[in-house]
Amino acid sequence: MRIRLCLAALSLAGGAGLATLSQPAASAATCSDIDVVAARGTFEPGTLGLIVGDPVYSALQKKLTGKSLSSYAVNYPADLSLTSAAQGNADLVNHVDAQAAACPNQRFVLVGYSQGANVVDNSIGISSAGAVVGSPIVATLPAAVEPRVAAVLLFGNPIRALGKSVTGTYQSRTIDFCAKGDPICENGGGDVLAHLGYTADADAAANFAAGKV
């Protein structure tokens, strides 16, 4: 309970402290070259997520100048309810499935921050059950879609506090940021403000994704 309350406080504080950042407009479903699918953190405001999703999308636009980009904000509560991450998991998979069918040449960059990282973990087959605001897997991206996922960008990933990480098929396409002392992703971490600092990693994440596209 203590760590869940901390997560809520962190997310609310992040919204208050970063409200002046610019936010990219999420695109409608189109057949762009790259669809950036972002799952925000608990209570995180912003179009794709003020702390991570929005700045990462902006950085990707600058790095991938020769390609068209669209964005999708995973539609889920991003709250402390027991089914929140599961709802995000289902929505992410449904969106990518639909886009993959409609746009045969489109590729995907998956972005997840905090609870949103749980959503992405589940969607690529790594269960977040037992993690802070995690859930069992309810849907996974099908094998036919897997080669079209160019990169997976994770920040403050709660499964890391359980000693878990992304392994298997998506491992080489995944970068997973955990700030020193972040209690959400580091077991025993005590620096609650570390969980709010991932905007600083947006450029590094975009560089990684650009190298995979």
Q: Annotated active-site positions, please?
A: 114, 182, 195
Structure tokens, 193: 């403000």
- C-alpha to C-alpha distance for 41 and 47, rounded to whole angstroms: 12
CA distances (Å), origin 65, targets 24, 48, 206: 16, 20, 12
Residue 35 amino acid letter: D
